[in-house]
Structure 1
Amino acid sequence: MTASAANTYGLGHWQGPSFTSIPPTMLPPDSISPFADKLGTNYVPSEAEIKDIRGLLIDPTEELGRIQAQIDEMEVFVCQLKAKHSSLKTAIDAHEALISPVRRAPDDVLREIFLACLPIEHNTLMDPSEAPILLGRICRHWRAVAHTTPMLWSSIYIPLPDLPDHDPSTRLEVVSWSLWNVVEQWFERSGTCPLTVSLSDSTEYAYEFDLDNHLVTLLLSVCNRLRHLSLSAETKVLLPLLCLGPEELPILKSLRIRSDDSVPFTDHQGVTNALQIPSLMDISLRVTADPRSLPLKWSQLTGLTLECQPVWRANGDKEGLDGIGALQVLRWCPNLLRCELQITNWDDIGLASNTSLITLPHLHTLVFRGPCQFPRWIPYLAVPKLRCLQVGSVQVTARFRDTPVEEAGMRVELETGRFTSDSLLELLRAFPAISHLHLYSDFFSAGKALLALDHLALPHNLCPILTHAVLALGPGPSDAAILQFIGARMAAPTPLQLFEAHFRREMETDIMPGLQTFISDGLQVSLNYREVSRWKFDARAGLTEPE
């Protein structure tokens, strides 16, 4: 490369090594080499031929050495250029950092930026790679701003992992040294801010332990600032907190308790004190108890989640939440916005002794889980603002779950086995605002899903504004039924936008060509078939692979 050529490519003055042109190879091409037909074979040359080959290779070997020398020289030069490039870039980056706009940002602007870095899906983690701890590791000024911004430290997740060594003294020493000081400093930096705290202790305490060394003690020191509290541990560990009253927990707004103890929750003395805090509006409980026996201030609750396991008494009675009890709980909570109930006793929810109307004017989310049956229950409820309803354990797909629902629409997820055929149709008629519908059926309830599918099409036309339908079905319906349903819904004034079907059978025929017209009109289609195993079992050969 000449100097002028170098300038042409923007390299400035060429100060590297000069390279001579490489002469053509002295080794004859394979086609004219005397040994061309022997190359790549197992031929053994004679002594005379060996001498000829060595003479033939003298000039090419010297040329190869010259080329290698030039390559080495070029690599040295490239390394020098890379070193110079790195040095210049470091100097440029350092100077550009001096004029970075963030250096001139006022502290109040920095604080807003820092607050925007906090997670919104969960409480803040004690993780050096995440805010707020990470923000204090950038520079001295940022650390000062972060440590003097109490809102950055107003939430925290405190995990106490189970340790392989269950010796109490060893565990308490680990907790004391690894977490105690960190949490204590965290609370100090939070100033006087209301706190959102979640504590999870996965240890099974089969021994007597000293609560003075447990992190629950630190929560006691800031209990007057606890606004949102989530606790997961054995009940006896949580007793110091749960026994507090309104004087110690004056601003507690939401409380979440997760305890897998087999001992009934209410058997612990004083454990229900925190449940009666006047400011408490949101309760979530997963404990062993009959929820109707808990002294909650039901009428003031706006959020309620009950996943209580039933209590078995010595006489064999099972105390839990049945269908009648679920309606009674709803009757006690007229101000609910969100409610999730785990029903543990199989009962007929339509045989409630109190047939008065349950009016929930603000309720937007209602979830029933567990082995419950709903032959007739719609007549008991007046829920004008309900926008999300789930009955049974329905596993929704990510696409369905993440699709937003319009203000006038409603999301409904139903396990059809929880209904009779009549009550399923009754529900679909009762909520004409259903825009997102997910129906799950097993082998025994597949007929109910087919019935619902038929009534969702003309002339019945239930759910007139249905735009998203997901069917997780047993052995049916047939591909013809699917085509008929989609055709009817696409012809409706409000056409489908998304259709998913999850079958428990092999694909019968390829129906995608029949859907192309609808797909061209904007319909998203996903059809998923289960592969049926072709393995065979023989009494002598056992399980054999398909051929």
Structure 2
Amino acid sequence: MSQQTIAPDPEQSPFFQHFNTNYVPTDAEIDDIRTHISPYDSELGRLDFVIQKLSAQRERLQKYVEPHRALVSYPRRLPQDILEEIFSCSLPTDRCAVMSAKEAPLLLGRICSAWRSFAFKMPRLWTSLHLPVSFVCASITRRAAVMEWLGRSAELPLTVSLVMQSSNSAYNTGLVTSLLPLSYRWRAFYASNLMPQHCLLLSDVHAPLLEQLRISIAEPLDATHAPTFLSSNIFQTMKNGNIHFSASLVARLIPTTPFTWNHITSLALMQSGGAGVDITPGLAYRLLQGCKNLRVLSCRLIWRAATQSPIPDEPLILPSLLCLRIQRESPLSWIPISALLGKLTMPALRVLSVPDSQIGVYADYLEHTAVTSPQLTSLNIGVSHTKTPAIILETIQLFPGLKKLSLTLTQNGMTVNGGRILLILTPGADSRPLPPLEELRLDCPGGFNVKAWVEFLEKNLEYGTALRRFGLRVEAPATRAIDRDIERFSNSGIALEIEYVRQTVVVESDAPTAWDAVPALPWVHSM
């Protein structure tokens, strides 16, 4: 077919006027159309044949060229230090790495032999590991792989999370024992569902690099050994005394006689495993008295007449304490806990969290705290539904340096109107002066009115306040209707965080996995 017979444009066709219409050609016109397109059909067939040959030729050339391109590809020419950074960035940052080829570092060894060799020789890829006993001990190969994994970390500090299997004490003890020789390299260690005998194994280890230690015990603590556990070698030799301990009868950790634990700087003691003797205000006083270097304390307090140890009359000065978080065992009285707080002088305190305490309800200690803790910048407290706006304002104004305020809007099952609270805190021409809050968080179990917080934030923008973060925690289904408001305020400089709390159903897996019960980092919160 010559170049002149190729129609360059459909408009040049003698039948163009009928294109894209409902016109039905006559029999004669049909013959003419077929005659007209016959050479073009022939040319299309020829081109299809040529394309097929060219495609086959292209495929052969591509197979030849691709391995050559791979030889000169950029990843092959990456400097070793750059490749190390890329590999390091592929590791999980919110938890330990797991023994699965679906993610780094094991996944990196599945790309090519060169990457596998490089990854295996890069110690910092192997410095963290999550060990669910039910998964690890289900295979002899996995048990051997644990020490091989940790061996690749050379002499770098280790972060290990260990979750015991309640039905297999032999495997539990075996895995704990295998990790003990590496204790001199522990930087962070998490152990869940430990048995009391495992605590005895841990107590004698030497861990000079240890910065975070979180332990939960599956059974009640032994009354004989518990009082000396926090003064054992592992705690005495820690680099930083950041400790989180959860157990039934956790109060047994506090000695009944005077003691001095200068090595502990951050401590969380939580009751678990059902009813038991918890920490009373009197025991808390004794604990604080013995830990003069304590910077952070989190605990749950209880008051029972039968077990209550008296609170000494002498004021207790805690010069190092920066953060105090106290919860109570509801619905027991807050009065003894309030009495304890009234005895404490904490000149360096920055954070006070007492969410079960209510403004204006046995909260006289707040005036004492405002005077003795002038550097307080963060307060978490409850709001009683019975209290007037004036009382709430007066309480907040006790702390002129307050930058973060968290309010729990409920008491004895009755939900406080969140909109009313925001109205109290909304800036205006006639409003009373408030501390320069940079962050406000509200816990609203009964839901919340969107219009209320939108108006509150708009007023803060209008008056140019210091508010930069606003958080809501509500028991309600998530909705996308407020996404536009969230984006609008975020673009204006106020970050919004809305958490929807709904009851969830936990579905247990039939087979153990490498991710079972993997804890999120950090395991111990310093502030």
Q: Which residue of 1 aligns with 2:244?
A: 284
Q: CA deviation at 1:196?
A: 2.0
User: What is the identity percentage for the equivalent residue pairs of Structure 1 and Structure 2?
Assistant: 23
Task: Choose which of 70, 93, 104 in structure 2 pairs with 1:131.
Answer: 104
Q: Does the CA contact (< 8 Å) of 2:447 and 2:474 recur in 1?
A: yes
Q: CA deviation at 1:154?
A: 2.3
Counterpart check, 1:305 vs 2:268: yes
Q: CA deviation at 1:466?
A: 1.5
Which structure has the higher relative contact order (CA within 8 Å, separation 6+)? 2
Task: Choose which of 431, 434, 445 in structure 2 pairs with 1:462.
Answer: 434
Counterpart check, 1:438 vs 2:406: yes
Counterpart check, 1:340 vs 2:298: yes
Q: CA deviation at 1:279?
A: 1.5
Q: CA deviation at 1:426?
A: 6.7
Counterpart check, 1:416 vs 2:400: no
Task: Choose which of 185, 199, 208 in structure 1 pairs with 2:162.
Answer: 199
Aligned partner of residue 265 in structure 1, secondary structure: coil
Q: CA deviation at 1:151?
A: 3.2
Aligned partner of residue 100 in structure 2, secondary structure: coil
Structure 1, unaligned runs of 5 or more: 5-17, 35-51, 163-170, 313-317, 395-407, 506-514, 531-547
Change (3 A) 1:322 1:131: same
Q: TM-score, normalised by structure 1?
A: 0.62
Aligned partner of residue 339 in structure 1, secondary structure: strand
Q: CA deviation at 1:188?
A: 2.2
Distance in 2 (CA, whole Å) between partners of 1:365 and 1:393 is 13
Q: Does the CA contact (< 8 Å) of 2:319 and 2:346 recur in 1?
A: yes
Aligned partner of residue 460 in structure 1, secondary structure: coil
2:437 corresponds to which letter in structure 1? L
Change (3 A) 1:26 1:364: same
Q: CA deviation at 1:327?
A: 4.9
Q: Does the CA contact (< 8 Å) of 1:302 and 1:338 recur in 2?
A: yes
Q: Which residue of 2 aligns with 1:359?
A: 318
Change (3 A) 1:24 1:425: same
Distance in 2 (CA, whole Å) between partners of 1:75 and 1:111 is 50
1:251-270 alignment to 2 at 5 Å?
A: 252-259=210-217, 261=218, 263-266=219-222
Distance in 1 (CA, whole Å) between partners of 2:270 and 2:183 is 26
Deviations 1:94-123 (A, max 9, x none): 445444565455656654554444333222
Q: CA deviation at 1:264?
A: 1.1
Q: Which residue of 2 aligns with 1:233?
A: 193
Aligned partner of residue 182 in structure 1, secondary structure: helix
Deviations 1:361-385 (A, max 9, x none): 3525746475374657765455555
Q: Does the CA contact (< 8 Å) of 2:265 and 2:295 recur in 1?
A: yes
Aligned partner of residue 492 in structure 2, secondary structure: coil
Q: Which residue of 2 aligns with 1:190?
A: 153
Structure 2, unaligned runs of 5 or more: 358-374, 477-484, 501-527
Q: Does the CA contact (< 8 Å) of 2:105 and 2:126 recur in 1?
A: yes
Q: Does the CA contact (< 8 Å) of 2:409 and 2:415 recur in 1?
A: yes
Q: Does the CA contact (< 8 Å) of 1:309 and 1:320 recur in 2?
A: no
Change (3 A) 1:345 1:60: farther
1:462 corresponds to which letter in structure 2? L
Q: Which residue of 1 aligns with 2:361?
A: none
Distance in 1 (CA, whole Å) between partners of 2:46 and 2:226 is 83
Q: CA deviation at 1:228?
A: 2.3
Change (3 A) 1:135 1:490: closer
Distance in 2 (CA, whole Å) between partners of 1:93 and 1:241 is 58
1:91-106 alignment to 2 at 5 Å?
A: 94-100=67-73, 103-104=76-77
Distance in 2 (CA, whole Å) between partners of 1:343 and 1:418 is 24
Q: Which residue of 1 aligns with 2:139?
A: 175
Q: Does the CA contact (< 8 Å) of 1:258 and 1:285 recur in 2?
A: yes
Counterpart check, 1:149 vs 2:122: yes
* Structure whose CA Rg is larger: 1
Q: Which residue of 1 aligns with 2:366?
A: none
Q: TM-score, normalised by structure 2?
A: 0.63
Distance in 2 (CA, whole Å) between partners of 1:102 and 1:476 is 52
Change (3 A) 1:117 1:479: closer
**Deviating more after overlay: 275-284 vs 240-249:** 240-249
Counterpart check, 1:371 vs 2:324: no
Q: CA deviation at 1:230?
A: 0.8
Distance in 1 (CA, whole Å) between partners of 2:130 and 2:246 is 19
Distance in 1 (CA, whole Å) between partners of 2:152 and 2:497 is 53
Change (3 A) 1:455 1:3: same
